[in-house]
Amino acid sequence: MSAGATARVFAPLARMRTLSREKADTLLLLASCTLVLVPHLLRLPAWIVPACTLLLAARAWLTFSGRRMPSRWLLVTLAVLAMAGVYGSYRTLFGRDAGVAMLTLLLTFKLLEMHAKRDLFVALFLSLFLILAGFFYSQSIGSALLTVAAVVLILTTLVSFQYTGAVPPFRKRLRLGATILGLAAPLTLVLFLLFPRVQGPLWGLPADAHSGRTGMSDTMSPGNISRLAQSDEIAFRVRFEQKPPAQRQLYWRGIVLGAFDGRTWREMPASSRDPELSVRPNGKPLRYQVTLEPHNRHWLFLLETPAALPSVSSRVTHDLQLLSLAPVRERLRYDAASYTDARVQDDVDPRQLRRWLQLPGGANPRALAFAAELRGRHPQPEMQVANVLRYFRAEKFQYTLEPPPLGRHVIDEFLFDTRAGFCEHYSGSFVFLMRALGVPARVVTGYQGGEINPADGFMTVRQSDAHAWAEVWLEQSGWVRVDPTAAVAPDRVQRNLSSVIPRQAFGGLITLDPDRNPFAAQWLRLRHQWEAIGNGWNQWVLNYTPERQLDLVRALGFSNVDWRTLLALMMVLGSAAVAAVVLPLLLRQKKRDPLEIIYVRFCALMARRGIPRAPYEGPRAYAARLAAADSPLPPEKRAALARFLEVYEAMRYGAAATSGSPVPHLSQLKSLLAECR
């Protein structure tokens, strides 16, 4: 590259170094607001992103060019149109999403309407409020780190606007902003640990605050689990007290579906004729702890078969579903125990299970004819189950995340035409055939498998582990799990989904298969470490519940802990934290020269009278300018001004300054200052 081309490339940077103080501070403000806005842009309607980008670019152009701000009427018109756009996108101006969209637009509009320092504070306070709104969507450690960076930059901006003389370099101002935030850390830690906690938020959240959660659905139709399985989000984490069971035993039971309309499976409503739930375990229960991510539903996921209710407010249904009494809208941790070998309802009358034989009329005639043929060969239910599984193995069925679409008779078309599907296709068609054969059957959805994170020892279960299987009722055995997917893709159950369908990243550009891609092993190792850090954040920060707070206070030696104890302890430790920060600052503070204090007061007095001292002026030059100034002051006041500066100059630079005893002159200087007033 030639010297001329290099100069043209770096010319903008050179111009930025020579910007005026006001322009440089304004650009720093724009950078702070941009950092605040970036995390929200991906959650907003598509039109808001270019709108905010255009407004920010316009503000930067006005700053560089030195042009005037747009008229207030133009801004009001644009703001009204923007609010209309928000209403058109959300059909409301209230709620989480609409509120965040309006805050985003208001912040960008406010940057075009800055005429005084008060407007600066409004823009910065809007930025802080928008940072808090980001926690409606994510409270991960990544979000927390981005919040810290944004707050530091906002404090740096605020500090930059406060300088009246020479401005320190940006690096020094940035360090000062970080120091201010660091000084608040001890008191923040005390408040976090000891401020009395209550269950749930202190105020009502918007109605849409919990929307957009990824997770299982209460229905199952072709394609919905395969779409969920393409998500790599974490569903829950598990910590076992002993060695985890084998991969093929990791069936995390969730929703039981029994009502079928020909295409979609739904939950079977409870009936007074349902048999009582009975469980006969074999062996000791397996104990573990689950940290469940919020999914805005009532389901709790446990290994088959639960030994007791988990350690949260919950209930069990007639079909062995575990349900929380309240929707899971926050990260939930509970202790659980399960039997890996148990008989469920093995002693009920088969007539009580007729509801699990219902099929829609006029649907899937070929499947019904196939079931009738199988019943003629083997009337025993156990043999019928084996024959259907043998059919799946023998025919050329394909396990895929992208099955072809199905028409009206979904079971017929899958079994005899496409023969390609995901777990919902196999479990749904298997249950249909079992019912057609006269065997009570139902679909169970949840998760299968899990991956031990070597960084922290927790088992991670992802949305990609979503799975559907079947349960059939056999005499003397009760409800027995049957997974028809294992007949087609046994590695899916014995290992995991990625062993059958490799994971991909960056939109499918990279295959995360360590056997095929050497980069994948490094990528997975880094992901394990990052997820372990995130899990620690979840366990110790986000899951700091009232119970854990009470345990902490009891560990400090307090008993019978109530809110009064917490407040008293918080006041004591909070005061100690403030003292630990403030006292060193006071001790390190330089004592101000009393002579300088009087001189600063004099200069402030003259500035209020319209004759401020220039930064480069000494006492003698300032006295000469005051004497020559056209001022309505009477002669005695002018004489007092001249005498004040003469005495100050003698004390600061004359013999009095070197004698070490300027005290006698201070009283005279104070008297002259009083005369000047």
pLDDT tens-digit readout, 476-522: 889 999 999 988 888 777 666 655 555 655 555 555 555 556 666 67
Q: At what angle do helices 48-65 and 96-110 cross, to 10 degrees?
A: 20
* Phi, psi at 291, each rounded to 5°: -110, 105
* Phi, psi at 421, each rounded to 5°: -170, 180
Distance CA 451, CA 457 (A): 10
Q: List, in sequence order, every residue forming a beta bridge with 291; answer none if it has no partner.
A: 237, 333
Tokens of 539: 């366990």
Side chain identity at 610, as an amino acid letter? G
- All residues at 6 or more sequence positions from 164 whose CB lies less than 8 Å from its CB, including other chains: none
- All residues at 6 or more sequence positions from 276 whose CB lies less than 8 Å from its CB, including other chains: none
Give residue-wise pLDDT tens across range 103-133: 999 999 888 888 777 888 888 999 999 998 8
Give residue-wise pLDDT tens across range 263-316: 899 998 887 778 888 889 888 999 999 999 988 899 999 998 888 888 888 899
Cβ proximity of 636 and 659 under 8 Å = no
Q: What mean pLDDT do residues 369-389 have?
A: 89
Q: Which of 295, 292, 296 is nearest to 335 (CA)?
A: 292
Q: Which of 33, 425, 483, 676 is the catalytic position?
A: 483
Give residue-wise pLDDT tens across range 123-168: 899 999 999 888 888 888 888 899 999 999 999 999 888 887 677 8
Cβ proximity of 123 and 33 under 8 Å = yes
Geometric angle at alpha carbon 504, from 502 and 509, rounded to 5°: 130
Q: Contacts from 493-497 at CB under 8 Å and sequence distance 24+?
A: 493/247, 493/248, 493/448, 493/449, 494/247, 494/248, 495/247, 495/449, 496/247, 496/449, 496/451, 496/465, 497/229, 497/449, 497/464, 497/465
| pTM for the predicted model, two decimal places | 0.69
Give residue-wise pLDDT tens across range 74-90: 888 888 998 999 889 88
Cis peptide before 108 (omega within 30 of 0): no
Give residue-wise pLDDT tens across range 448-478: 989 898 888 899 999 889 999 999 999 888 9
Residue 658 has pLDDT above 50, yes or no: no
Instruction: Check residue 106 and give left, alpha or beta (phi > 0: left; psi -120 to 50: alpha).
Output: alpha
**What percent of the chain lies above the pLDDT cut of 90?**
26
Residue 447 has pLDDT above 80, yes or no: yes
Residue 9 has pLDDT above 50, yes or no: no
Strand, coil or helix: what is 629? Answer: coil
Q: Is 562 a catalytic residue?
A: no
Residue 102 pLDDT: 92
Looking only at the bridges linking them, the beta strands covering 342-344 and 234-240 are: unpaired
Q: What mean pLDDT do residues 203-207 have?
A: 50
Distance CA 293, CA 235 (A): 6
Residue 313 pLDDT: 86
Ordered DSSP codes for 394-419: HTT-EE-SSPPP--S-HHHHIIIII-
Residue with tokens 């030059």: 621
Tokens of 600: 């600063």
Q: Is 423 a catalytic residue?
A: yes
- 3-state SS of 317-343 is CCCCCEEECCCCCCCEEEEEEECCCEE
Q: Is 483 a catalytic residue?
A: yes
Distance CA 488, CA 430 (A): 12
Q: Which of 412, 465, 467, 676 is the catalytic position?
A: 467
Q: At what angle do helices 594-608 and 663-676 cross, to 10 degrees?
A: 10
Give residue-wise pLDDT tens across range 403-427: 888 888 899 999 999 889 888 999 9
- All residues at 6 or more sequence positions from 545 whose CB lies less than 8 Å from its CB, including other chains: 197
Give residue-wise pLDDT tens across range 564-591: 888 888 899 989 999 988 888 877 776 7
* Edge-to-edge strands, sheet with 451-452: 332-338, 286-292, 234-240, 459-462, 451-452
Distance CA 579, CA 575 (A): 6
DSSP state at residue 270: P
Residue 204 has pLDDT above 60, yes or no: no
Residue 10 pLDDT: 41
Distance CA 607, CA 604 (A): 5
- Return the biggest CA–CA distance within the chain: 126
Ordered DSSP codes for 343-355: EESTTS-GGGGGG
Residue with tokens 């960056």: 506
Distance CA 229, CA 219 (A): 15
Strand, coil or helix: what is 299? Answer: strand
User: C-alpha 496: how far from its chain's center?
Assistant: 28
- Rg of the Cα trace of the chain? 36
Q: Which of 326, 268, 324, 319 is nearest to 300 (CA)?
A: 324
- All residues at 6 or more sequence positions from 70 whose CB lies less than 8 Å from its CB, including other chains: 112
Q: Which of 82, 25, 76, 73 is nearest to 52 (CA)?
A: 82
As a whole number, the mean pLDDT across the chain is: 83
Residue 556 has pLDDT above 60, yes or no: yes
Cβ proximity of 568 and 575 under 8 Å = no
Cβ proximity of 268 and 304 under 8 Å = no
Q: Which of 412, 423, 456, 676 is the catalytic position?
A: 423
Q: Which of 437, 433, 412, 408 is nearest to 487 (CA)?
A: 433
Geometric angle at alpha carbon 260, from 274 and 229, rounded to 5°: 110
